[in-house]
Each structure stands twice: as structure tokens, then as C-alpha cells.
Amino acid sequence: MVQKEVVYVVSDSVGETAELVVKAVATQFNGGQVEIRRNSYVEDIEDIEDVIILARKDHSIIAYTIVIPELKDYLDKRAMEEGIMAVDLLNPLMNAFATRFNKQPHRQPGLMRKLDEEYFRKIEAIEFAVKYDDGRDPRGIMKADIVLIGVSRTSKTPLSMYLAHKRFKVANVPLVPEVPPPDELFKIPRKNCIGLIISPDKLNEIRTERLKALGLGSKANYASFQRILDELDYAEKIMKRVGCPIINVSNKAIEETAGLILDVLKKERSL
């Protein structure tokens, strides 16, 4: 049985990046028959000394991703003293970035994992917004960071998605006179809910265009002025009952309204 060569992967974070690089290189040599021994979260010279002793014993390579200057310098110094080949996988490229872009790196371990976690939180929020869109499952109201309520065509869905990209879990509930609002709406803290209103003229314009896009007549009850007034009056009564802040979305871009929502919630939750 052929004994595998050993490569020590050393990192002041998880060490996944270094391990992936070592595996990629190893595949170019005899099908990647190397043993990778990962040493994660090294935070002092004693941790590095432990690896130096092992690497010297196994006559192996150290591949590392260390961004803390003191630890990197110590590992380089000790590896040279012991005749161990130590390969820095980050700093050459980091130095190139610093030179080319005239900026200095943060030199904080774990930043990439932090970015990954932010990404997955955003994906989770987007999936939440899709699942609890348009009041399809009232259970989402109790789980949401933000609940948007309003009549049809007050931008509830696009606002939910926009806020989801900022990692907020958003549920939205349409207010329709013929459909009682879910009980959950009256059980959440008022600071978690935002009511969206719009001027009757603007809503009439939006709904008329919507009907045209669907190939329907503009005189349908959906776009009639009286129907709109009835819906807005009903929605206002529900919003007052909930006791939530109210934002007028007339002639506002999604980004502008979202900014107002976050400002209002920040103010409400700081009280």
C-alpha cells in the first residue's frame, strides 16, 4: 500500500479555502493521493508550533491562509528555521490587490464565511417572501420581520421582494372587503406591520392599465372609482384597528417606499 503524502492546511478561520486549493493541486499529481490535515482557527504561536512539529516529523508541506500579520510572520520564520516548505495561499494576491487598487486589506479572519452567511440569509428571506406572498398562508404573519397590508396594486409583492434582498422576512396580506383579515394580523406587535395606502386617482390609473394588459375592459368593477373608494375605506379601518404605521405609496418608486418603511420601523422599534 502506497503511503499518502501529507499536507497540513493551516488557517486563522475555517480553512475551507486552503483545503480546496490543496485538493485542486493534488489532483494534478497521481490522482490527488494526499492526506490533508486541516488546522482551523489558529490564534496564537502555540497553535502554529504544534503544526510545525507535526510537519517536520512528516516531512510535509504547510499550505496556509492566515491574514493576521503576526501569525503569518511567525509561521514563515519557523518554517524556514525547520526547513519546512510553507506556502502562503492568500497574501501574494492580497498584496496585488493592495497595490493595484491602492487599498489596504482588513486582515480579519472569517470575512468570506460572513459573506456566505449574509448570502444564505438573503436567499432564506426571498424564499419566505414567495411562500407568504398575497396572504396565501397566514402563519407567515407570526414569523415575519415585516408584514405589509393594503389593497390590491399597492406594490406589496415588489416591496416584499425588495426588502427580502435586504434580508428581511416579509409577509404581505391583501385587504379585501369581502374577505375578513386573518386573526394573526391582530396578534402581532404593531411595530411589525406597515399599512400601504394610495390615492384613489392613482389606484384607478394603475388598475385600469392592469385590466388593459390583461385584455379586459377598463369599466370592470375592479377599476371603478366607487369600488376603489370602498376598498380604501375598508383598508383604512383595518389599519386603524391594527394600529400600524401607514405609508402613502402614491407616485413613489419601490426603493423610495422601502426606505420609508425601514425608517418608520426603525423609529417604531426604538421607542
Residue type present at position 142? M
Answer yes or no: is 187 a known binding residue. Answer: no
Answer yes or no: is 157 a known binding residue. Answer: yes
Answer yes or no: is 150 a known binding residue. Answer: yes
Other Cβ atoms less than 10 A from the Cβ of 63: the count is 23
Answer yes or no: is 199 a known binding residue. Answer: no
Residues whose CB is less than 8 angstroms from the CB of residue 230 and which lie 6 or more positions away in sequence, other chains included: 177
Answer yes or no: is 243 a known binding residue. Answer: no
Interhelix angle 69-82/45-58, nearest 10 degrees: 30
Alpha helices in the chain (DSSP H): 16-26, 45-58, 69-82, 91-101, 111-131, 139-143, 156-164, 200-213, 225-242, 254-269
Answer yes or no: is 152 a known binding residue. Answer: yes
Q: State the Cα–Cα distance between residues 260 and 236, nearest whole angstrom.
A: 19
Q: State the Cα–Cα distance between residues 172 and 156, nearest whole angstrom.
A: 6
Residue 217 three-state SS: coil
Backbone angles phi, psi at 145, to 5 degrees: -75, -35
Q: Which residues are annotated as a binding site?
A: 150-157
Q: Which residues are annotated as a binding site for ADP?
A: 150-157
